Amino acid sequence: MEEYITRREFEQFKRHIEQKTEPMKAINVNVASADVLNQLQELRQNQTEIFNALVKTVEDNVGDLRTDMERRLDSIAEVQKLILNRLPPIGE
């Protein structure tokens, strides 16, 4: 058969337990181990290398596009000259 405790007994038990335990003080630990700091530094370095490689790739591609555009514009100018040279003079 189950025995139930009264509210008063519960409060006494609660006070008894509270007297035995002390509240823990909050501790803020912001210490990183050397291993973690080294890993973070490695990650930063890898990200920097990847970023620099991407920047170089984009710069190279932009340079190639500029060169290609200049060639095409020169070709267009040549075609325009040829067309203008074949047209009859105005007013004749």
Q: Would you kindly state where each structural domain of the chain is located, as residue ranges? A: 56-92
- Quick one: pLDDT at residue 1? 56
Percent of the chain whose predicted confidence (pLDDT) is above 90: 49
User: Averaged over 54-80, what is the pLDDT?
Assistant: 96
Is 90 exceeded by the pLDDT of residue 9? no
Pull the structure tokens for residue 60.
Answer: 């190279």
Which is more confident, 45 or 20? 45
Q: Identify the band that residue 50 occupies on the pLDDT scale cut at 50, 70 and 90.
A: very high
